[in-house]
Structure 1
Amino acid sequence: MNGADFFLVVNFSIGLSFAVVFLIVSTRSRSRTAALWIAAAYAVASFSTISELLVAHTGWVKLFAVAAFATVLAGLLLIRVGIGRLYGVPASPVLLVTFFCISIGLDLIIYDLPRGSWEHSLGYQTPFALAIFVSAAAVLRSSRRTAIDRVMAVLLLAAGLQFLVKAVAAVEVGAGQTAADYVHSYYALVSQSLTGVFVVIIGLMLLSVFVLEIMAEERSNSEVDALSEVLNRRGFDNHCEAALRRMRGPHAVVLCDLDHFKKVNDTYGHYSGDCVIRAFAELLRASAPENAVIGRLGGEEFCVLLPGVPSDAALMFAQAVRGSFAVQALPSMPQGFRMTASFGVAAFHNAVELPAAIRNADGALYEAKASGRNCVRSHRERSGVSLVML
Structure 2
Amino acid sequence: MGGGAEFILAINLLVAGLLAAAFMTISFNDVARAPARWLVFGYLLGMAYFAIEFSIPIFDNARPAVVAGFAVFLGATIAFNGGLAHKYGVAPRWAPMLVFLFVATVAVYFVQDLPRQSLARMMAYQLPYAAMQFVGVGIVWSSRQRRDWLDHALMAVLTASALQFVSKPFIAHAMGGWGVNPQAYLQSNYALVSQSLGTVFGLTIALLILVILVRDVLAEATSKSETDTLSRLLNRGGFERHAELAMRDAVRKGIPVALVIADLDHFKSINDSFGHASGDRVIEAFAGFLRDAAADHHVAGRIGGEEFAIILPGTNLAAARLFAEGTRSAFGALPIDCLPADHRCTASFGVAELHPAEGFSDLLRGADEALYQAKGSGRDCVRISIGSIAARQTAVANAGPKISGRG
Kept after mapping to 2: 8 A contact 1:34/1:82: yes
Alpha-carbon distance between aligned partners in 1 of 2:152 and 2:332, rounded to the nearest angstrom: 51
SS class of match (1:37): helix
SS class of match (2:303): strand
SS class of match (2:309): strand
Alpha-carbon distance between aligned partners in 2 of 1:345 and 1:75, rounded to the nearest angstrom: 57
Structure 2 partner of 1:388: none
Kept after mapping to 1: 8 A contact 2:45/2:75: yes
Structure 1 partner of 2:405: none
Alpha-carbon distance between aligned partners in 2 of 1:48 and 1:37, rounded to the nearest angstrom: 17
Q: CA deviation at 1:233?
A: 1.8
Q: CA deviation at 1:343?
A: 1.6
Structural mapping, 1:1-390, within 5 Å: 2-30=3-31, 32-90=33-91, 92-142=93-143, 144-171=146-173, 172-244=175-247, 245-246=249-250, 248-349=254-355, 352-381=358-387
- TM-score normalised by L of structure 2: 0.84
| Cα displacement string for residues 118-161 of structure 1 (whole angstroms, at most 9, x for unaligned residues) | 33323322222222233234434545542112221221122223
* Segment drifting more, 138-147 vs 310-319: 138-147
Q: CA deviation at 1:337?
A: 3.4
The amino acid of 1:285's aligned partner reads R
* Segment drifting more, 216-225 vs 281-290: 281-290
- TM-score normalised by L of structure 1: 0.87
Corresponding residue pairs, total: 384
Alpha-carbon distance between aligned partners in 2 of 1:68 and 1:383, rounded to the nearest angstrom: 75
Deviating 4+ runs (over 6 angstroms) = none
- Give the % identical residues: 38
Instruction: Evaluate the alpha carbon distance shift between residue 145 and residue 294 of structure 1 in structure 2; reply closer, same or farther with a 3 A threshold.
Output: closer
The amino acid of 1:68's aligned partner reads G
Kept after mapping to 1: 8 A contact 2:261/2:309: yes
Instruction: Evaluate the alpha carbon distance shift between residue 6 and residue 248 of structure 1 in structure 2; reply closer, same or farther with a 3 A threshold.
Output: same
The amino acid of 1:234's aligned partner reads G
Q: CA deviation at 1:25?
A: 2.0
Kept after mapping to 2: 8 A contact 1:259/1:374: yes
Alpha-carbon distance between aligned partners in 1 of 2:260 and 2:274, rounded to the nearest angstrom: 28
Alpha-carbon distance between aligned partners in 2 of 1:11 and 1:293, rounded to the nearest angstrom: 47
* Segment drifting more, 350-359 vs 14-23: 350-359
Q: CA deviation at 1:383?
A: 7.3
Q: CA deviation at 1:170?
A: 2.4
The amino acid of 1:227's aligned partner reads L
| Cα displacement string for residues 156-208 of structure 1 (whole angstroms, at most 9, x for unaligned residues) | 12222322343223222432221112134343344323322322211111111
Alpha-carbon distance between aligned partners in 2 of 1:27 and 1:59, rounded to the nearest angstrom: 44
Alpha-carbon distance between aligned partners in 1 of 2:130 and 2:295, rounded to the nearest angstrom: 48
Alpha-carbon distance between aligned partners in 2 of 1:108 and 1:85, rounded to the nearest angstrom: 32
Kept after mapping to 2: 8 A contact 1:113/1:120: yes
Kept after mapping to 2: 8 A contact 1:342/1:365: yes
Q: CA deviation at 1:319?
A: 2.6
Alpha-carbon distance between aligned partners in 1 of 2:70 and 2:137, rounded to the nearest angstrom: 21
Alpha-carbon distance between aligned partners in 2 of 1:210 and 1:351, rounded to the nearest angstrom: 40
SS class of match (1:291): coil
Let me know the Cα RMSD of the aligned residues: 2.8
